[in-house]
Amino acid sequence: MGTRGWWLCVVAATGNADTTVGHGELTKEVERALTAHGRALLTGPAGAGKTEVAGAVAAAAAARHETVLRLAPEAADQWIPEASAAALLASVPCSALDRLSGPQRTAIALLRREADAPRAGRDHVALRLAVVEVLRTLAARTPVLLVLDNAQWLDAESTDLLRFALRLTPPRVRVLVAECVQGGAPVGGPLCGPGTPAIRVPPLGADEVAELLARHGLPARLA
């Protein structure tokens, strides 16, 4: 069994992944990248532990009382227009919508399927500006960390919307994207912008898997 299989066995047996084994330095590297650049991109094969590293960074931000927004689309979501954008906006506090103009409120309501689409069609410009305003409002209160996991499964419309919004957000909005490129074009780079540090998460080695098994009292035969 390869190291990816070992990792998945440990997660299945324990219900969690210990990011202090093998990934502690990676977590620190991500923190440094976010501090210096405001953006960071996690890459690596499926099962390497990108989600766990991103989760550790998010937990640290939450402990500092930052606003943490997490989005993790599934494979089926990539075929549903604006699915990820709707999920993201459904997770923000209602108070973040208070400053929106009438057209922007309507655009958000339509995206979240809270209102019927008007005959004249949707106002896509209002939607873009609404997302920008929501992120700015949140950032005016506390620093914001936006974690986009499984970015390879973002639908095209949500990718375009987020790319526009993130170009206009203040520095207090930091972005961490985790992506496993699976034959298509990567989206993490265009989302985060040029010069974003890319940090590869390699599979755990045999010694690290053995340590992880030992920590959870699991027999070596699982490896």
User: Residue 100: which domain range?
Assistant: 25-202
137 and 116 in one domain? Answer: yes
54 and 39 in one domain? Answer: yes
Q: What is the CATH number of the domain that holds 58?
A: 3.40.50.300
Quick one: pLDDT band at residue 46, thresholds 50, 70, 90?
Answer: confident
Q: Which ranges in the chain belong to alpha helices (H)?
A: 3-14, 24-37, 50-63, 83-90, 102-111, 124-141, 156-167, 188-192, 206-215
Other CB atoms within a 10 A radius of the CB of residue 73 amount to: 21
142 and 43 in one domain? Answer: yes
109 and 210 in one domain? Answer: no
Q: What is the pLDDT of residue 12?
A: 43
109 and 208 in one domain? Answer: no
Quick one: pLDDT band at residue 47, thresholds 50, 70, 90?
Answer: confident
Sequence-ordered list of residues with C-beta below 8 angstroms from that of 7, at least 6 positions apart, any chain: 17, 47, 48, 49, 203, 204, 209
Q: Are strands 67-71 and 39-43 parallel, antiparallel or unpaired?
A: unpaired
Q: How large a percentage of the chain has pLDDT more than 90? A: 65
| Residue 38 predicted with pLDDT over 80 | yes
Q: What is the pLDDT of residue 118?
A: 76
77 and 158 in one domain? Answer: yes
Residue 184: Cβ-neighbour burial (10 angstroms; 0-12, 13-18, 19+): exposed
| Residue 111 predicted with pLDDT over 50 | yes
Of residues 134 and 185, more confidence is placed in 134
Q: Which of 29, 69, 24, 71 is nearest to 49 (CA)?
A: 24
| Residue 215 predicted with pLDDT over 70 | no
217 and 142 in one domain? Answer: no
133 and 150 in one domain? Answer: yes
148 and 177 in one domain? Answer: yes
Number of structural domains the chain divides into: 2
